[in-house]
Structure 1
Amino acid sequence: MDRIQRIGDVAEIMLDYVENKKTYQADNTMRVPTRSYTDHDQWRAEMELIFKRVPLMLAFTAEMPNPGDYKAMEAVGLPILISRDKEGKVRAFLNVCSHRSAPVASEGHGNCPRFVCKYHGWTFGQDGRLIGVAESRTFGDVDKAGLGLRRLPCEEKAGMIFVCLTPNAPMDLDRYFRGFLDDYDAMDFGKWTYLGSRVIEGANWKIAFDGYLEGYHFASLHPETIFPRTPSNCTHYEGFGPNIRIGFPQKRIAEALRDVPREQWGTQENNGFDFVRIMFPNVSTFIAPEITQVAQLFPGPTPEQNRTVLNYLRRDPIRDEEDRAQVETMIDFFRDVTYKEDYLIGLEIQRGLEAGAHDELVFGRNERGNQYFHEWLNWYLEDDPTRPEPKM
């Protein structure tokens, strides 16, 4: 089905939800063991069978658009280096020198023609090749061809850079996303402006991610920020493999679409309805007219912690210093809402789970996004590709 037609059909469904006080309904409720959020063995399995196997969105084209640009970061405890060479090709490596395992680039962004290890000065090209050994005359013979940076599977698509954290692992973005990235292509996401990021920390990564997957809590948890615009417990879900497009109608959807021809409803995102786009296992994107927030949730070093990078982008570049100041204010507002209204209660939930009051959590029929996420989580943890995949 044509993308615009499909979104228009979803808009029609959401209009019905608002007018008739309905929401998307799963067939049944779902129970999840509370130990899923506290158990060390499950946490280790999630790292090995999910985070180190699936494509992770680690950077934006807008974050490193020029030849020589790079980004060095930590993901799931691993030091990662993403580099764009002089021809514009993006590559990813473990940020680990082949001599004595020191980093070859400091964490953050930069632009350089080569990477030099600060420990002993070994030099690597943008393609990861070892091109220089300091004091080579006294060091002895080395096989430079076999001592490059350890490469990771990497692909740039739809304005984003995806990396698999296991060297030589297969990575097929088309099969994994199943048309989900078409929205980003249609928005010309690769040409947007990267505005910056904020980092927040919270409870178990799944506790935090559960909050991005439903709107059942809007009235009680966000009475002054989200609820005035978006009704609570009124949500639509679409699955694209393990990824989800979540539709949130606005309270004014009928008014917004009244004078828009039906065949154009699929072009009206942010005018009567919004989407949150979920990339399994750890990315949530909310595109608003003023600014876009993309949350990357990374499990912390223990099950009860997560580190979330909140990235901010928009279509237009920064105009002047006044515009930059306004953008920074808006970024801080989004960060504060996310942390104070979502992540703080997540820490309370973590304490509640560890108290052992209940053996299970229950996700309602109206929380299909959470159910679908946990179904796919369990599918990966079973590590059996012959098992039927979950369906929305």
Structure 2
Amino acid sequence: MTVQSSAAAPGALACTSNQIRVEVRMGYHETIGDEAAKMLEYVENGTTDSAETPMEVPASAYTDPAHFDREMATIFHRLPLLAALTAEMPNPGDYKAMDLMGKPVLITRRTDGSVAAMLNVCSHRGMILTPEGHGNKKRFSCPYHAWTFANDGKLVGVAEPGKFGPVCKEERGLKTLPCAEAGGIIWVSLSHDADIDIEKHLGGMLDDLDAYDLANWHYCGSRRIHGANWKIAYDGYLEGYHFAAAHPETIHPRTFSNIMHFTAFGPHMRVGYPQVSIKEKLGAEPRERWGHIENSGYDFVRTIFPNVSIFFAPEITQVAQLIPGPTPDRNTTNLLFIRREPPRDAEDAAGIETMMDWLSDVVDREDYGVGLQVQKGLESGALSSVIFGRNERGNQYFHKYVDYLIANDADAPPPVL
């Protein structure tokens, strides 16, 4: 496995991309097979993975501006965030410009294949250097006064330098951000002094990403939706208790409602959902194959704390990049879509667009639409707290981890699932 955050180069902090196909930790598929077997057991017994007791969370955790500010300071401005997929910018010179937590961020792939992350702000007068989006450039010229920067962030040209006066170019590069590339994802920290240990941060979840070799997939496109408080959105990814009521014609015909299996890797989770066909599909395969047939009898949603949800589907994979704010009652979610192979032809490309539209509409209408109503209900003052049942074990664990990080107590042990 090759995962590296390199030392800073002039003008940017670079990180080496995965250049070889990674080897997944031994026993990974056996573990997935065991989780499939556990889901089958739940279906046969009419049970689900459960916590010991219900748990209450103050309603103010979703509405209070001071609480929201603490979450942003202790979580979103400290931990590595998904900024881009490797598949979005696979070639030297590729770049992605975006707004990440209210900050203009520019990620570039340098000639040697490494990735640099920086603030997308010209060091002359603070102009946004390049508009949001993707492209391929060796250099970036500021649209205000035409100062020019290499794609590693180094200042290489000042317009009319004789008239402007002396400038130390080495001190006027773009402001760098720590970054790392692992598991087919480019991670960025918004804390300039952060030391990203992405293997430690991801833990066992990196095995899931490596198993799929995402760095070599095809980027299909994205959709943007808007929702309520970030934890309301995150809550929805962690349980299938709502499938029958909220997804009666989309998810529920395929997947049992209120049967889940939870596995945690630090704050990250792999949540298993048995399909209604699980008995038939697993029964048709030898036991040693059960861990190799995800989407055939069972599915997983993988959440990578604090802003990622991944659903690998047979047709296309959806990666949700959740960005809180700017106020407690809002989030912006970018749905990024990838699949193993590029479109075969025009008809296949059109089918991909249709699938992205459909998936985005389902999440927007049936999940985020509900979440906005939840936000309105909580802001009404009708509840002092919300309650998570024993069956909502993943949600309980998620909220315990949020509280643990906000407390910022070095002596306190992290939550255990």
**What is the TM-score normalised by the length of structure 2?**
0.93
Write the deviation string for residues 317-349 of structure 1: whole angstroms up to 9, x where unpaired.
111111111111111110111011111111111
Query: Is 1:143 aligned to residue 168 of structure 2?
Result: yes
3-state SS, counterpart of residue 205 of structure 2: coil
Query: Is 1:387 aligned to residue 412 of structure 2?
Result: yes
For residue 98 of structure 1, the aligned residue among 118, 123, 126 is 123
Indicate the residue corresponding to 1:219 in structure 2: 244
Indicate the residue corresponding to 2:328 in structure 1: 303
CA RMSD of aligned residues (A): 0.9
Write the deviation string for residues 22-49 of structure 1: whole angstroms up to 9, x where unpaired.
1000112111100111100111111111
For residue 14 of structure 1, the aligned residue among 39, 56, 61 is 39
Larger CA deviation: 165-174 vs 356-365: 165-174
Letter of the 2:358 partner, please give it: F
Partners of 2:49 and 2:123 in 1: how far apart? Answer: 52
Indicate the residue corresponding to 2:20 in structure 1: none
Partners of 1:377 and 1:225 in 2: how far apart? Answer: 31
Write the deviation string for residues 206-234 of structure 1: whole angstroms up to 9, x where unpaired.
11111111000001110110011110000
3-state SS, counterpart of residue 233 of structure 2: helix
Displacement after TM superposition at 1:369 (Å): 1.0
Displacement after TM superposition at 1:277 (Å): 0.4
Displacement after TM superposition at 1:237 (Å): 0.3
For residue 128 of structure 1, the aligned residue among 153, 160, 173 is 153
- Identity over aligned residues, as a percent? 56
Runs of 4+ in structure 1 displaced over 6 angstroms?
Answer: none
Partners of 2:94 and 2:83 in 1: how far apart? Answer: 15
3-state SS, counterpart of residue 97 of structure 2: strand
Query: Is 1:323 aligned to residue 348 of structure 2?
Result: yes
Letter of the 1:36 partner, please give it: A
Query: Is 1:356 aligned to residue 381 of structure 2?
Result: yes
3-state SS, counterpart of residue 73 of structure 2: helix
Letter of the 1:110 partner, please give it: G
Write the deviation string for residues 71-105 of structure 1: whole angstroms up to 9, x where unpaired.
00001101000000111110100111111111112
Partners of 1:259 and 1:357 in 2: how far apart? Answer: 50
3-state SS, counterpart of residue 70 of structure 2: helix
Unaligned runs of 5+ in 2: 1-25
Query: Is 1:248 aligned to residue 278 of structure 2?
Result: no
Displacement after TM superposition at 1:236 (Å): 0.3
Partners of 1:328 and 1:334 in 2: how far apart? Answer: 10
Query: Is 1:70 aligned to residue 95 of structure 2?
Result: yes
Letter of the 1:176 partner, please give it: H
Displacement after TM superposition at 1:132 (Å): 0.9
**What is the TM-score normalised by the length of structure 1?**
0.99
Displacement after TM superposition at 1:386 (Å): 2.5
Query: Is 1:203 aligned to residue 228 of structure 2?
Result: yes
Indicate the residue corresponding to 1:263 in structure 2: 288
Letter of the 2:397 partner, please give it: Y
How many residues are aligned here? 392
Query: Is 1:238 aligned to residue 263 of structure 2?
Result: yes
Indicate the residue corresponding to 2:15 in structure 1: none
**What aligned pairs does 1:35-184 form with structure 2 within 5 A after superposition?**
35-184=60-209
Partners of 2:410 and 2:362 in 1: how far apart? Answer: 39
Write the deviation string for residues 147-183 of structure 1: whole angstroms up to 9, x where unpaired.
1111111111111100101112121111111121111
Letter of the 2:331 partner, please give it: N
Partners of 2:145 and 2:409 in 1: how far apart? Answer: 45
